Amino acid sequence: MTSHWSCGRIAHLLLWCGLAAALLMVSIPKIYSGVTEYRLRPGGALHTTDSYLKFATGREGVSKNLISMFDSMPMSKPIVIFIRRGDAFSSGLGMTTAYLASPHAVRLCEIDGTHPDNELYRINPDKVAAVVLCRLNRPSWLPAGKVFGPGLEIVSIGEKG
């Protein structure tokens, strides 16, 4: 070996080639499974919220229905969204609904248990456009609302016009 290929240089080369090879060996299976896990689907304007809501409610194209439903409600009144404390699905559903409810003001109410009876009693129906129940049971005294799958029900309180 000449000084151009000294022991130190060879060790340096081996070390970094080894590290690069090890990095690739560990990474490639993970990245391969990540890349091949899902297939390409046509994407729409509400591509992400539709996927979230399909996951939560089992229904396709729910976002558009929710937007048109909220549009039919008086804009001056807020939407009250009930979610369940400690239930990630419920709060995710509530936040996605709040996202779609714009430009309405929203109130997110987190409750313990699955029956929001006490909280609903306290609401003045004249001051609310709708009540949204995310993975919660509607009390029997509250009129039935529009149901989007098993986890989401929207009870319209006062229609526009």
Residues of this chain that bind other proteins (CB under 8 A): 12, 15-16, 19-20, 22-24, 26-28, 30-31, 33-35, 38-41, 43-49, 51-52, 78, 81, 92, 95-96, 98-99, 102-103, 105-108
| Three-class SS of the chain | CCHHHCHHHHHHHHHHHHHHHHHHHHHHHHHHHHHHCCCCCCCCCCHHHHHHHHHHHCCCCHHHHHHHHHHCCCCCCCEEEEEECCCHHHHHHHHHHHHHCCCCCEEEEEECCCCCHHHHHCCCHHHCCEEEEECCCCCCCCCCCEEECCCEEEEECCCCC
The nearer residue to other proteins, 23 or 115, going by C-beta atoms, is 23
Min. distance of Cβ 30 from other proteins in angstroms?
Answer: 5
CB of 80 to other proteins, least distance (A): 9
Nearer to other proteins, 102 or 118 (CB): 102
Shortest spacing between CB 161 and other proteins, in angstroms: 21
**Nearer CB in complex with other proteins: 8/143:** 8
Q: State in angstroms the smallest separation of the CB of 109 from other proteins.
A: 9
CB nearer to other proteins: pick between 42 and 161 = 42
* CA atoms within 13 A of residue 82's CA, in its CB half-sphere: 25
